[in-house]
Amino acid sequence: MLRPQFTVEPAHVVATIERVKKYEAAITSFRDRYHAFPGDIADTSRLDRCNANCAPAKISSGDNVIGSRQFGSNLKSGLKISSLPPSSASDETVLFWQHLLAADLISGVTDSAIHSPTPLAWGITMPASPTGGGFVVGYADGKFPEHLSPLNEGMKGTILVLKLSADDSIALDTPGIQPLSPAQAAFIDRKLDDGKPSKGFVQAYGAPSCFKDGGINYDEANPKKDCGLIFRIQAP
């Protein structure tokens, strides 16, 4: 019997899984080396490739939270390097990648954001994803909004959000233009967690058609790009 022929897409999905694991390992290595979170480290003089614009705002640095605690409540990135040096907690979500880059723990971004105000862009301020779109980092502190699975239990800790737009120009529940199909999202979820969109340290957001059975499962028969994923990469 002939086996089904796979498209190039599964390779991209597998590469995305490896990318998430890489970022999780990078943040652990950074914490072991500097005893602080990337993006939140108060003393950036220990990062040889940083400049004065690498330092997060004093009002928010050193609290072990990347960005604002409200990030996980609405999944709106709120990212903006509007002034140099950075002046608000939201800047930490870009500085996170700058600190990992300065520590030689990641590639895939540039250091332009610490030299001049830089528009949000995949491969520049935040890394791109092999599946399209890219990754935004933040801190989750409780429940997520309605465009996740109706049964989502939320999560707490440092999270990565796989998004199609670097800013918030594309609503996260718009059907057909999210990063993943339900089958792709389910595949990643099963490889890293429990395969359920509403619980665990991998959870899904998207159009209602991303889910079935009242939100218990992914609608894997739906071929449209209706899903995105959230990964908890560090517990609180």
List the chain residues with pLDDT less than 50: 1-8
Instruction: Say what the pLDDT of residue 107 is.
Output: 96
Does 85 sit behind a cis peptide bond, omega within 30 degrees of 0 on the bond before it?
yes
Q: State how far the Cα of 117 lies from the Cα of 126, in Å rounded to an integer.
A: 14
Instruction: Say what the pLDDT of residue 5 is.
Output: 42
Domain ranges within the chain, ordered by starting residue: 9-234
Instruction: Say what the pLDDT of residue 2 is.
Output: 43
Cα separations (Å) of 93 from 88, 98, 146?
A: 10, 9, 23
Instruction: Say what the pLDDT of residue 82 is.
Output: 54
